[in-house]
C-alpha cells in the first residue's frame, strides 16, 4: 500500500482520506508504478492501478473527471463513469469535464489526479458530504475552491474540513515575474521565493488562505512533489511522468 497518508473512515468520523504516492501500482517507467494518468501509459496498467485504489478504499469503484484547470464541479451520481473492479474500460472515460467532484454517496471514492498541482480533499463529517478538488495555479486563481465549497453547501455541508495534499512547494516553483505578480496581486498568500531566491508561487499558501477565509478547518499533509522522490512531479520530470491522486470516500453510515 502506498498511501502518503491515510485516514480510515473508522478513525476519521466516517470519512476516508488518502493521497497516493507513486509506489504500489503496476505501471512501468517512466510511469512507475501507481500511475493514474490516462493516455500515455498502458491503459491496462492504469486500469489495474484504479482497481487497486478501488480495493484499497473498500468502495469498489472510483469516480474521476476529465480535468482542465477550470472551476466546474460535478456531482457524482447517475450518468457518471466509474473505474474499479467492475468497470475497467478506460477507452470510454472520463466523460465528465470538471476540476472538482462532490458526493453524498457511500459506494464510490472520489479522486483528482495531480503531479505538482494541489489535491484538496474536503468533507463535512457530520452531514456526510465529501469533495475533492484539483487546485493548480490557474484553477486556484479562477476560484475552483470557492466553487467546490459552494457545491458542498448546496448539499447541506456546514462544518467543512480540508486536507491539503502533496504539491510543488514554492522553493521549486519559480515562475516568470509577470505570472508571479498576477498571482500575488490576486491572492497575496501565493507570494513565494524559490530556492535560488527568485520569484515563485506558493500554491499551498494560496490554497490555505482561500479555505481559511471561507471558515474551513485546514490540515496540511503536503511534502513537495518535486523535492520528494516518492511523488510524480511534472516539473521535475519535465512533463514525462505519472499522476498521483487525492482521494475521499464515505464509510458506511455509523462507521464513525
The contact set with Zn ion (CB under 5 A) reads 169, 171-172, 224, 226-227
For the CB of residue 27, give the shortest distance to Zn ion in the complex, in Å: 23
For the CB of residue 139, give the shortest distance to Zn ion in the complex, in Å: 20
Nearer to Zn ion, 194 or 255 (CB): 194
How is the beta sheet containing 100-103 ordered, strand by strand?
73-75, 100-103, 129-135, 118-124, 161-164, 217-220
DSSP 173: -
For the CB of residue 24, give the shortest distance to Zn ion in the complex, in Å: 22
Under a CB-based contact definition with an 8 Å cutoff, are residues 35 and 24 in contact? no
Q: Give backbone dihedrals phi and psi of 93, rounded to 5 degrees, phi first.
A: -155, 170
Nearer to Zn ion, 150 or 171 (CB): 171
Exposure string (b/e) for 206-223, b if CB count within 10 Å is 16 or more?
bbbbbbeeeebebeebbb
Nearer to Zn ion, 41 or 199 (CB): 199
Nearer to Zn ion, 83 or 231 (CB): 231
Whole-number Å distance between alpha carbons of 237 and 172: 12
For the CB of residue 233, give the shortest distance to Zn ion in the complex, in Å: 8
Nearer to Zn ion, 166 or 246 (CB): 166
Half-sphere exposure at residue 234, Cβ-oriented, CA atoms within 13 angstroms: 15
Whole-number Å distance between alpha carbons of 59 and 124: 19
For the CB of residue 215, give the shortest distance to Zn ion in the complex, in Å: 30
Amino acid at each position: 500500500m502506498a498511501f502518503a497518508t491515510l485516514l480510515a473512515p473508522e478513525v476519521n468520523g466516517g470519512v476516508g482520506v488518502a493521497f497516493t504516492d507513486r509506489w504500489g501500482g503496476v505501471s512501468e517507467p517512466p510511469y512507475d508504478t501507481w500511475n493514474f494518468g490516462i493516455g500515455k501509459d498502458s491503459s491496462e496498467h492504469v486500469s489495474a492501478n484504479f482497481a487497486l485504489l478501488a480495493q484499497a478504499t473498500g468502495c469498489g469503484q472510483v469516480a474521476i473527471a476529465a480535468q482542465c484547470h477550470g472551476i466546474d464541479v460535478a456531482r457524482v451520481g447517475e450518468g457518471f463513469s466509474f473505474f474499479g473492479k467492475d468497470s475497467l474500460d478506460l477507452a470510454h472515460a472520463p466523460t465528465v469535464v470538471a476540476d472538482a467532484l462532490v458526493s453524498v454517496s457511500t459506494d464510490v471514492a472520489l479522486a483528482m489526479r495531480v503531479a505538482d498541482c494541489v489535491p484538496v480533499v474536503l468533507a463535512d463529517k457530520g452531514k456526510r458530504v465529501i469533495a475533492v478538488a484539483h487546485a493548480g495555479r490557474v484553477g486556484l486563481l479562477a476560484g475552483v475552491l470557492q466553487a467546490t465549497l459552494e457545491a458542498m453547501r448546496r448539499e447541506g455541508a456546514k462544518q467543512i474540513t480540508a486536507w491539503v495534499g502533496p504539491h510543488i512547494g514554492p522553493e521549486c516553483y519559480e515562475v516568470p515575474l509577470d505570472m508571479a505578480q498576477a498571482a500575488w496581486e490576486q491572492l497575496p498568500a501565493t507570494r513565494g521565493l524559490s530556492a535560488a531566491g527568485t520569484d515563485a508561487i506558493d500554491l499551498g499558501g494560496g490554497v490555505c488562505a482561500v479555505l481559511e477565509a471561507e471558515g474551513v478547518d485546514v490540515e496540511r499533509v503536503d511534502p513537495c512533489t518535486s523535492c520528494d522522490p516518492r511523488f510524480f512531479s511534472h516539473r521535475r520530470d519535465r512533463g514525462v511522468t505519472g499522476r498521483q491522486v487525492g482521494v475521499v470516500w464515505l464509510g458506511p453510515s455509523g462507521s464513525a
